[in-house]
Each structure stands twice: as C-alpha cells, then as structure tokens.
Amino acid sequence: MFEELIPMVVCTGMFAMIFGIAYLRNRENMALIERGMNPRTKDTRPRPFLNLKWGLLMIGSGVGLLLAYIIDSMILGAHVVITHASIHSSDSDSPAIYFALIGIGGGLGLFYSYKIEKKEWLDKKRDEQ
C-alpha cells in the first residue's frame, strides 16, 4: 500500500531540497548586495590546508576500507571457494563494517588534519609575537 508512495515522497523531497538550497543561496546573495559586497567574490579567502585535508580524508578512508576487508575476510570468516569451473565468494552479511570503518578512517584523517592545521596556526601566531 505504502510502496507506491515512496517514489513520490523521494522525488518531492529531492525537489524541496534543491529548491531550498537555491532559495537560501539567493537570500544570502541579496544580503551581501544590501551590505554593498559583491556576492561573486565571497569565497576567495585562502584555504591553505585544503589539499592536505582531502588527502588525509582519502588516506583514512582507504585505510578504513582495507581494515574492514581484513576484518571481514580474516575474522568474520568470509572465504573464497575455488573450483575447476569458477571462483565463488561466500558473501558475508557484514557490509556495515565497511561503512563504519570508512567513516572512522575518514574521521581520523580529518582529525589529524585539524591537529596539523592547529599546530601550524599556533606556531605562526607565536612567531608574530
């Protein structure tokens, strides 16, 4: 009964989200114009550690995915059965561990990036004094 409503609710939700984002961006631009600022130049501030942050996020996600694979194959017992005709993988029912460890690894990468940025900022502030 409710299965027919799912596509309509999803489409309506996506439309509302896109409309809301566009509406809020327009209001932000209008507020900048009222203050006499150019809305096209609002995001030109320097981002010194952006590549470091994304690099550490990807490394953390990759390490998390590798760790999830090792845990899944070694500890949880997923194994590969090789026969003369084909290779069959026994599929374990633990995909949540992959997503959890990707999140944990990515979060650790971002936390490490924060620590590096904070140390650099404190060193620069100490040098200025």
Same domain (yes/no): 18, 61: no
Distance set, CA 70 to CA 1, 18, 102 (Å): 42, 39, 13
At 91 the pLDDT is 53
Same domain (yes/no): 74, 28: no
Same domain (yes/no): 15, 77: no
Same domain (yes/no): 60, 94: yes
Same domain (yes/no): 72, 10: no
Report the C-alpha gap between 56 and 62 in whole angstroms.
10
Beta carbons within 8 Å of 112's beta carbon, 6+ residues apart: 56, 60
Same domain (yes/no): 6, 56: no
Same domain (yes/no): 77, 102: yes
Amino acid in the structure at residue 66: L
Same domain (yes/no): 118, 84: yes
* Residues 101 and 64 sit within 8 Å (Cβ to Cβ): yes
At 84 the pLDDT is 54
CA dihedral for 33, 35, 37, 42, sign (positive or negative): negative
Dihedral of the CA atoms 70, 55, 96, 12 (nearest 10)?
Answer: -160
Report the C-alpha gap between 103 and 126 in whole angstroms.
34
Same domain (yes/no): 84, 25: no
* Residues 72 and 98 sit within 8 Å (Cβ to Cβ): yes
At 77 the pLDDT is 63
User: How many folded domains does the chain comprise?
Assistant: 2
**Statement: the pTM of the whole predicted model exceeds 0.75:** no
Per-residue pLDDT of the chain (129 residues; tens, 9 = 90+): 788 898 899 999 999 999 999 999 999 989 988 988 887 776 655 666 777 778 788 888 888 888 877 887 777 665 555 555 554 455 555 677 777 778 888 888 888 888 888 888 888 888 887
Same domain (yes/no): 88, 116: yes
Structural domain for 11, as ranges? 2-41
